[in-house]
Structure 1
Amino acid sequence: MTTPTLTAQLRLDLRHRLRPMSGRNPDEPHRAVTPLELLYDLTYVIAFAAAADELAHALFVGEVGSGIGAYLFAVFGVSWAWLNFTWFSSAYDNDDALVRAAVVAQMVGVVIFVFGLPVSFEDAAHGGSPNNMLLVAGYIVMRVPLIALWLRAAREDPTHRRTSVAYAVVITVAQLGWLLTTVPGIPAGATVVAIVVLAAAELIAPLVIERRYGRAPWNAGHIAERFGLLTLITIGEVIAGTVAAVGALVAEQGWSVAAVAIVAAGLVIAAGLWWAYYLIPSRTILERWPERTWGWRYVHLPLFGAIAAVGAGLHVAALGVEHQELSLLQITLALAVPVACVVVLVFLIWSVLMHSMDFTHVPLFICNLVPLVAAVIIAAVVDAGAPIDLEPGGDLTALVTVIGLVSLSCVIEVVGHELVGYSHTLQAAKRHLLEPEIDERHAEAEGAEPSA
C-alpha cells in the first residue's frame, strides 16, 4: 500500500468530521456491518431482554393475556425502530460525527423505552393501554434523529430527494400520532385501536414510498447481515437469560436435576435455532434478487419477538421450579409455544426468501412440531391442575421429559434442514435461475410463429 493510499485510509478510519451523505452503492460487494451498527444492535437486544423478563413475570403471576399483549406492543416498538434505522444506514451511513451522534441519541431512546416497560405491563394487567408517556417518549426519541438524517440525505442526495423527504414526513406524522395516544382520558379500547392503526400505517408506508418515488440506495447483502446479526445476538440473550434465571434458582435451592435440565435445554434450543436460521441463504439470495428483501424483512419482526420469548419461557420454567407455584402444563406451554413460533417463522422466512412454498418441506415441518405437541399432551395428562411437585415420586420425570421434547424439536429442525432443506433450497434457486431463460424461449417461439 502506497503512502498516499495509507494516509487516505487512516483518515477515513480515524477522522469523523462531516462527510457527504450522497448515498451508498446498493451493489457494493462484501459490504460488512460497522462497529457502530453492532453497538446500536446490542442496545436494542437489551430492550428485547427487558421485555422478555416482563413477559416471564406476567406469565408467572397468571397475567397471560395482558402480558402477551404488552409484550407484542413492546417488541413492535423496538423492532420497528431498529428496522427503520437499519434501512437508512444501509443506504446512507457515512460514519461521520453527525451520524454517530444520531445513533447515540437513539440509544438513549432505547433506555427510556426500557424504563417504561414495567409501567406498560402493569397498566395492561389492570385493563389499561400498554402504552404510557415514558414508553412513547422513548420510542419518539428513537425515531426523531432519523427524521433529521433523512432530511440531510434529501439535501445531499438529489437523486433520491423525494424518497428521503417522504420518509421524513411519514416518520414525523407517525410520531405525532403516537404522542396523541398518550392523551389522558382516552378509553383503553380506543387507544389500542389507534395503536393497531398506527402500526399498520408504519408498516405499509415504506412500500408505498419506494414504489412511488423510487428505491433508496440500500444494500441487500448488508441488510441480510444486519438482520442475521441481530437474530444471533437475540439468541445469545436466550442463553444469558437462562443462565441468570437458573443462577437464581441454584442460589436458592442448590443444583438439581430440574436446574440442569433447564440449562441444557437453553443451550440446545439456542444452538438449534442459530443453526437452523443460518441454513437460510439470505445474503446470497437477496444480493441476486433484492426485491425479495421486503417480505423477508417483515417476517423478521415477529421472529425477534419469538426468539426473545423463548428466553422468557425458560425463565418461567426456572421460576416454576424455584417456587413450585405453576403447573406442569403452564411451564410446558411457556416453553413450547415460543419455540413453535420460531420454527414456523423460520419455515416462513425460507419460503418468502426462495419464493417457494415447497410442500415436500411439510413432512419435515410436521416432524419439528411433533415433539412440541407430544410435550403438551404429556403435560396435560400428568397435570392435575395443581402446582408442580418435584419431590420423589412427583412430577420431576415428566418435567425433564417435556423439556427434552421441546429441545428435541430444535434438533430435528437442524438435522432435517441439513439432510433435506439443502437440496430443496438448491432446487428452488435453480428454478428461479431457469425462469428467465424459459420466458425468453417462449418469447422467441411466439415471435417466430408469425414469420413462419
Structure 2
Amino acid sequence: MSHDDAHLRSELKNDLRHRLRPLTNIVPRGRTRQVTPLELLYDLTYVIAFAAAAEEVAASIAEGHVAAGIGAYLFAIFAVGWSWLNFTWYASAYGNDDALFRVATIVQMVGVLVLVFGLPQSFHDAAEGHNPNNLLIAVGYLVMRVPLILLWLRAARYDEEHRRSAVAYAITVAVAQVGWLLTAVIPMPALVAVVALAALVAGEMVVRVLIEQRLGRTPWEPGHIAERFGLLTLIALGEVVAATTRTVAVLTQEQGWSLGAVMIAASGLVLAAGLWWAYYLVPSGAILLRQPERVYAWRYTHLLVWAAIPAVGVGLRLAAEALEGGELTLLGIAVALVVPVGAVIVLVFLLWSMLVRSYDLTHIPLLVATLVPLGAAVVVAAIAGTDAPFDPHDGSDLTALVTVIALVALSTVVEVVGHEIVGYAHTVRALVRRGELRET
C-alpha cells in the first residue's frame, strides 16, 4: 500500500467512523489542534443564548427595571459563558470527536436551550426582587454540566499522567453544580441567593487555577484556546449586527430610507467591525503559545467581554424601542450605548496588559483618545435631550440620536487606527523590556 493510500484510508477512518477513541495523543506530533465542526455547531446555541439575554434586558430597561434587568443579564451571561468556558477547556485537551464525545456535546447543547427558556422568568423574578436562579435555569445548567463531569472522569480513567487534575475538575464541577441547584430549590431572599452564587463562582474560579498549578496542567492547546475564545467573541458580535438591523428596520418602516437610517446602519456596522478589529489586535495566540501560564486572568476577563459586547446590541435595541415610541430618553439611550462600548475598549486594553505583562502608562493617551468620542456622545445627548421621552418624529431628537450613535462608532475607529499605528512597536518594546524578545 502506497503512502498516499494509507494516508487517505486514515483520513476516511477518522472522518467516517466515530467509535470510541483514545483520549491521549489526539493531536499528531508537529501539528496543532484545529477547531472542529462539532465545536462550531455547539457555539450556535450561544447565538440564541446571547440574543435571548440581550432581548430580555432591553425589555427590562425599557420598562424601568434597570438594576434588576442588568443583574439578571449578568447572571444569564455568566451561566452560559462559564459553561462554555468549562467545556472548551476540556475539549482542547480531550476532544477526540468520537461518538461518546459527540453525544455528550449535543446533550450540553440541549441544556443551553433549556436555560434560554428559563430566561424570561429569571428577568421577571429579578424585577420583582426575587431570586433570578429559577428551577428551569437550574435544570438547563445541570444538563449543561453533568456531561462534563462524566467526560472529566473518563479523562481520569484513560490519562494516567493527568489523572489527579481530571478527578479534581470532576469533583469541582459536581460540588459547584450541587450548590447552584440548591440556590434554585431552597427558598431564600434574592440577596442571599446572589451572595451564595457569587461565592460558588469565586470558589470554582480559584480552584480551577489551583488545579492547574498544583496538580499539573491538563494538555489543553494554547493556540486552540485562543482561537475558540475568539470565535465566541465573534458570536457575541453577531448580536451587534442583529440589533443594528432591527434598529434600521424600525426607522425605515416608520419614515422610509433617509440619511439618518443610512448613518445608523453604517455606524452599527462600523461598531461591530471596529470591536472585532480591536479584539484581534490583542496577540492572544502568539503570547499564550510562549507563556501559557498567563491564560488564567485572560480567560476569566473574557466573561466580562462576552457580557459587554452583546450589551452594545442592547443599546441599539433600546434605540429601536425609542424609535417605536417608547418611554426612553435620549440620554438614557446614549448611556446604554456608551457604557458597554467603553467597557469593551477598556477590556481590550486589559487583555493586552495581562498577556504582555506590561502595565505602564505609555498606552494611556490612546485609551483616553478612544474614550473622547464616547464622552462627546453623552454630552450631545445631555444638551439635545430633555427629561421627556425621545420623540422619533422630532427632527432634532432624531438628528441627535444619529449623532450619538455615530460618535460611539467613531470611538472604535480611533482605537483601531491608533493601535495599528503604535500597537506593534509598543508591544515589541514591552516584550523586549521583559526579556521575552531580543532587541534587533
The TM tier, using the shorter chain, reads over 0.9
Return the match for 1:379 from 372, 381, 386.
381
Deviation, 1:244, is 3.2
Secondary structure at the counterpart of residue 338 of structure 2: helix
Secondary structure at the counterpart of residue 33 of structure 1: coil
* Identical-residue share of aligned pairs (%): 60
Residue 285 of structure 2 corresponds to 283
Deviation, 1:252, is 4.7
Deviation, 1:28, is 5.6
Residue 87 of structure 2 corresponds to 85
Q: CA–CA distance in 2 between the matches of 1:435 and 1:392?
A: 58
- Structure 1 residues 26 and 420 mapped into 2: Cα distance closer, same or farther (>3 Å)? farther
Deviation, 1:227, is 0.5
Residue 20 of structure 1 corresponds to 22
Deviation, 1:249, is 4.4
- Structure 1 residues 97 and 109 mapped into 2: Cα distance closer, same or farther (>3 Å)? same
Q: Which whole-Å deviations, capped at 9, do the CAs of 1:168-225 have from their partners, x for residues lacking one?
A: 0111111110110012431222111111111111211211112221110111111001
Which amino acid in structure 2 is aligned with residue 183 of structure 1?
V
Which amino acid in structure 1 is aligned with residue 427 of structure 2?
T
Q: CA–CA distance in 1 between the matches of 2:90 and 2:29?
A: 16
Q: How many pairs are equivalent?
A: 437
Contact 1:26 1:91 in 2 (8 A): no
- Structure 1 residues 324 and 191 mapped into 2: Cα distance closer, same or farther (>3 Å)? closer
Q: CA–CA distance in 1 between the matches of 2:87 and 2:30?
A: 19
Residue 318 of structure 2 corresponds to 316
Deviation, 1:395, is 1.6
Deviation, 1:430, is 2.6
Q: CA–CA distance in 2 between the matches of 1:110 and 1:28?
A: 35
Deviation, 1:357, is 1.2
- Structure 1 residues 387 and 436 mapped into 2: Cα distance closer, same or farther (>3 Å)? same
Residue 66 of structure 2 corresponds to 64
User: Is 1:351 aligned with 2:315?
Assistant: no
Residue 120 of structure 2 corresponds to 118
Aligned-residue RMSD, C-alpha: 1.9
- Structure 1 residues 141 and 23 mapped into 2: Cα distance closer, same or farther (>3 Å)? farther
Residue 164 of structure 2 corresponds to 162
Correspondence 1:142-221 to 2 at 5 A: 142-221=144-223
Structure 1 alignment gaps of length 5 or more: 438-452
Correspondence 1:1-16 to 2 at 5 A: 1-16=3-18
TM-score if structure 2 supplies the norm length?
A: 0.95
Q: Which whole-Å deviations, capped at 9, do the CAs of 1:240-265 have from their partners, x for residues lacking one?
A: 23213432443455334443333222
Which amino acid in structure 2 is aligned with residue 89 of structure 1?
A
Deviation, 1:27, is 8.4
Which amino acid in structure 1 is aligned with residue 202 of structure 2?
A
Residue 48 of structure 2 corresponds to 46
Which amino acid in structure 2 is aligned with residue 36 of structure 1?
L
Residue 137 of structure 2 corresponds to 135
Contact 1:317 1:334 in 2 (8 A): no
Contact 1:153 1:161 in 2 (8 A): yes
Residue 275 of structure 2 corresponds to 273
TM-score if structure 1 supplies the norm length?
A: 0.93
Q: CA–CA distance in 1 between the matches of 2:276 and 2:405?
A: 19
Q: CA–CA distance in 2 between the matches of 1:78 and 1:163?
A: 24
Which amino acid in structure 1 is aligned with residue 285 of structure 2?
R
Return the match for 1:240 from 234, 242, 260.
242
Deviation, 1:421, is 1.3
Q: CA–CA distance in 1 between the matches of 2:52 and 2:251?
A: 19
